[in-house]
Structure 1
């Protein structure tokens, strides 16, 4: 960890290199009037909207929608099965094929509304009410981008299932609506934050701030339920194809949210955008074709008890598509022995290993944030 001390607050950095755009955003955070104590940048940090992804920010009295992001509650779910690689490999393609057929990916939704008690306890917030009917068709869908479903192996050759997804359109609607509202309120009443920083805030003691908190919390619940819904389908598919298939406790972690916590003797709103609360067991997934990790969080106070949420991009999506041929990505996955299922492969290069940091280097850089318990290597992947 190194420290930049040229701004109002220190910036503590676990990354070996930080692109200038992300560093400029971190400086904006460090000079935000409601930011407290310091800014923490995880080893997977890269530029986002307003706040860098892989950033951790503590504020007093306010919450910043762009410091949570547009996929509120995005996270990862993982479970260990009782099956060995030897038992699963003959049916691996069948499993992945049925998963791809059963779980909508990309912009696709279910054709029939899904049921969940969650829909009966939605908060009375306009942006949630407006999206609630659509969400009934989105529950249990993967989405696109870096979202994935993977069949993995641990070092004892047991098979794991891991998936990465979020709150679907709920998160984007909530983020966009409350960011616009925050911009208008700040320009009318609040201490000025330059509009180009994209860090407009909502005071927690206002109706608007409380509504955003309620909407964000509902997005977190929906995102977790979305992952649980998909995992249930995947486990049922595996159970139907493999004799004596069972599984253990499911682990689920968010990496886009804000929560009121006590740090350095003060109650602060900790924003984790592309960062995980490193307390107890956590999941740090790699990029497509690379390892993922189950870790024990070390609750390091210097990172606000946080760690990275993955590998972190080194190449933008458009740049990756320009520079990396799809055929090369497919050949690399074949060379790694990873079965790849993706309906439309035109954007495959966006998520290839070369577009991301080396996950093993990321793990090395956060040795004081997490302790590795289990290393997982991919056997097959379904991409959005």
Structure 2
């Protein structure tokens, strides 16, 4: 399904790839963003679009000479990583539970962190820049070190999957952890303070922004790139540990060479050229999908996920969805579903089946198949994955 322009009477059009009508709060959020004077050409909404803070999750916002910290969000650089292995599903027979326990032992989840940092973590080049970050995080270096290689909570996960040819894939979802969150909050607060001081009229306080050329813009952009790099490397560290665990169980510890590797952000901002102009592109819950770009679009923990190749669709600013998108809030999911529902909906998946992950039940998410059908003009499917093991944050 191609996009549809929404009838919102805004200066800049809003193009939507969603097959559902936006609710009143979602419509207002889309209008607010599209009415900002520095928004470029149009706003694109991906098929998994839903309510966010300031801007809709699943929106792609190109801007000229300005950036909105709250539109990027607080999980800077959140994204996905996947590797295709030379192993087959038959080799997993009887080993899934032990693999899950071993994974939980080497990758901290939730609020947990590593007791100490390993060589891969301490050798990361980004630590040399830590002292140049916002003064409000100067006491967080040790925590950032210990959280590098940790999953976090919410919808972050590690999954062992099989594709249509019974080939084993390793996949994970995580971001920039506590350090990214605090950096984002510090800059969002600064942007809001500036808007008040300059009496800038905004349709929503969360759309406070920095103007290119100012000191505040430069500091945010610097910190944003650092946090995005931290998030990407955090996924690399976890994937290294994940790979070792799987090698131990399936190959007696012998290192394997991945057949394909993907590592992509879906909460970030980048300088790009679109329609012949230099712009800042904020993808809030969206993956870059230029021609030949590889991306990952996960479903919920009981649904399929997809490895995709971008088609370079210009109207979407070369983007696609970042997942199925939530159908209901976490609180509503807990009120709607029971533990029995969770057990039923995650049948055949080696994972936690307790109250702590009830808000992540597959029924709380949109249909990933419908989301994929809506973006056939944005991506092509390279592999369809189904998880057999899931470790939730």
For the superposition of Structure 1 and Structure 2, which TM-score range results when normalised by the shorter chain? over 0.9
**Aligned mate of 2:87, from 72, 83, 86:** 83
Work out the CA distance in 1 between the residues paired with 2:277 and 2:242.
43
* 1:355 counterpart = 2:364: yes
* 1:65 counterpart = 2:73: no
Work out the CA distance in 2 between the residues paired with 1:220 and 1:326.
36
Structure 1: runs of 5+ lacking an equivalent? none
Distance 1:128 1:299, change over 3 A: farther
Q: Quote the offset at 1:94 in angstroms.
A: 1.3
Q: Give the corresponding residue for 1:208.
A: 216
Q: What is the aligned length? A: 379
* 1:230 counterpart = 2:204: no
Q: Give the corresponding residue for 2:189.
A: 180
**Aligned mate of 1:250, from 261, 276, 282:** 261
Q: Give the corresponding residue for 1:371.
A: 380
**Aligned mate of 2:344, from 331, 343, 354:** 331
Q: Give the corresponding residue for 1:145.
A: 154
* 1:303 counterpart = 2:316: yes
Work out the CA distance in 2 between the residues paired with 1:291 and 1:57.
28
* CA deviation string 1:26-80 (max 9, x = no partner): 1100101211111110000000100110001111111100110010000000001
* 1:10 counterpart = 2:26: no
Q: Give the corresponding residue for 1:189.
A: 198
Q: Give the corresponding residue for 2:24.
A: 20
Work out the CA distance in 1 between the residues paired with 2:177 and 2:97.
27
Runs of 4+ in 1 over 3 A off after TM superposition: none
* 1:346 counterpart = 2:355: yes
Output the aligned Cα RMSD.
1.5
Q: Quote the offset at 1:379 in angstroms.
A: 0.7
* 1:92 counterpart = 2:96: yes
Q: Give the corresponding residue for 1:260.
A: 271
Distance 1:340 1:365, change over 3 A: same
Work out the CA distance in 1 between the residues paired with 2:19 and 2:34.
19
Work out the CA distance in 2 between the residues paired with 1:157 and 1:71.
33
Q: Give the corresponding residue for 1:103.
A: 107
Work out the CA distance in 2 between the residues paired with 1:116 and 1:211.
24
Q: Quote the offset at 1:148 in angstroms.
A: 0.5
* CA deviation string 1:61-109 (max 9, x = no partner): 1110011001000000000111100012322221111001111101111
**Aligned mate of 1:116, from 119, 123, 143:** 123
* CA deviation string 1:333-373 (max 9, x = no partner): 12xx111137xx32322111111100010000000110111
Work out the CA distance in 2 between the residues paired with 1:252 and 1:128.
26
Work out the CA distance in 2 between the residues paired with 1:381 and 1:2.
36
Q: Give the corresponding residue for 2:289.
A: 278
Work out the CA distance in 1 between the residues paired with 2:84 and 2:382.
13
* CA deviation string 1:276-319 (max 9, x = no partner): 11121111111111010011101111001110000001100000
Q: Quote the offset at 1:121 in angstroms.
A: 3.2
Q: Quote the offset at 1:245 in angstroms.
A: 5.9
Q: Secondary structure at the match of 1:267?
A: strand
TM-score, L = length of structure 1: 0.95
Q: Quote the offset at 1:197 in angstroms.
A: 4.5
Q: Secondary structure at the match of 1:70?
A: coil
Q: Secondary structure at the match of 1:242?
A: helix
